[in-house]
Amino acid sequence: MEKLKPTLLIIAAGLGSRYGSLKQIDKIGPSGERIIDYSVYDAVRAGFGKIIYVIRKSFEEEFKEVILNHLPSDIETGYVFQEIDSVDKNINYNPARQKPWGTGHALLVAEDAINEPFVVINADDFYGAESFKIAYDFLQKENAKENNYALIGFDIKNTLSEYGTVSRGICSADKDGFLTSVVERTQIKIENGAILYKDELDNWNNLSGNEIVSMNMFAFTPGIFKLIRPDFNSFLQKNKNELKAEYYLPTAVDNQIKIGKAKVKVLSTPEQWFGLTYKEDKKIAQQKILETVNAGKYPEKLWK
């Protein structure tokens, strides 16, 4: 029996507060491509059958104009909305809140759009072709069954910005390569050649640079939705009056690992990650894309 082609779910609803604009649609490639386009290109080449985007309704028309309308017609696409009120109707939250509830929330709003195994990524991160091949191969294996997932992990030293702090989920795995924990560190930086993170007591601590981190690239089956929804609702009850609290996807997965509901294989990728966190990152991203084009990894014009 032919296996289902996996779907790629792209989280593109972030407001780009540190970046200062809708970074999801910023031109990076030599022919005006966005980082998001390279992810779609790599996923389709790897064998993915459908692309679903998570966006804000406020930039729906602009998104269709600059992203969807430039894709080849044979790529199946769709999109869902992530809004502050994309929650159960019995949840009352602070009306002063201005943005949705984080990447774990973004995953949940796509539940009705996905019925097959899928991979989730961020719109503003470049993951590299090999990362999508690794994820695709995992989902095609017999052991990619319900509640048996994978994390495609990157060395932390290859994921930092020179221009400020970043958030990363730092991973620990057992001797068989299964994830034992993901700790979300919201302030990680490079300073005088050292990699540092701030802990819960506001102290800065050293990292080696070889730690595996989550860049929100997970391989899931649709069972993940029902698995984490009760956890998300619990989070909302505790944080409904907070203006900035976020339900992070790595934390959501970590919670399921701790209670024995999920197994997550850590799959390291050799790819070099880069992304758009700060405005200054754009020039570096453009240079790295150009290098991959010159090396023959991508055509100069992605969509012909």
Could you report the per-residue pLDDT of 114-152, keeping only the tens digit for each? 999 999 999 989 999 999 999 999 999 855 567 889 999
Considering the domain boundaries, does residue 96 fall inside one? yes
Considering the domain boundaries, does residue 1 fall inside one? no
Considering the domain boundaries, does residue 2 fall inside one? no
Considering the domain boundaries, does residue 300 fall inside one? no
3-state secondary structure 187-240: EEEEECCEEEEECCCCCEEEECCCCEEEEEEEEECCHHHHHHHHHHHHHHHHHC
Cβ 181 vs Cβ 81: under 8 Å: no
Domain with 240 in it: what CATH number? 3.90.550.10
Domain with 237, as residue range(s), is 7-294
Considering the domain boundaries, does residue 218 fall inside one? yes
What kind and span of H or E run contains 304? none
Considering the domain boundaries, does residue 301 fall inside one? no
Strand duo 212-220 + 204-207: pairing: unpaired
Considering the domain boundaries, does residue 196 fall inside one? yes
Per-position b or e across 256-286, b if 16+ CB within 10 A of its CB: bbeeeebbbbbbebebebbbbbbeebbebbe
Could you report the per-residue pLDDT of 242-289, keeping only the tens digit for each? 998 999 998 899 999 999 999 999 999 989 888 887 788 888 899 999
69: its two tokens: 């309308």
Considering the domain boundaries, does residue 30 fall inside one? yes
3-state DSSP helix/strand/coil % of the chain, to nearest 5: 30, 25, 45
Predicted TM-score (pTM) of the model is 0.90
**pLDDT, one tens digit for every residue, the chain (304 residues):** 457 799 999 999 864 444 344 555 778 999 999 999 999 999 999 999 999 999 999 888 888 888 899 899 999 999 999 998 898 888 888 889 988 999 999 999 999 999 999 999 999 899 999 999 999 999 998 555 678 899 999 999 888 888 888 888 899 999 999 999 888 888 999 998 899 999 999 999 999 999 999 898 999 999 999 999 999 999 999 998 899 899 999 889 999 999 999 999 999 998 988 888 778 888 889 999 999 999 999 999 998 7
Per-position b or e across 168-194, b if 16+ CB within 10 A of its CB: bbbbebeeeebbeebbbbeebbbeeee
3-class DSSP state of 46? helix
Total of domains in the chain = 1
User: In angstroms, rounded to a whole number, what is the distance separating the alpha carbons of residues 117 and 104?
Assistant: 17
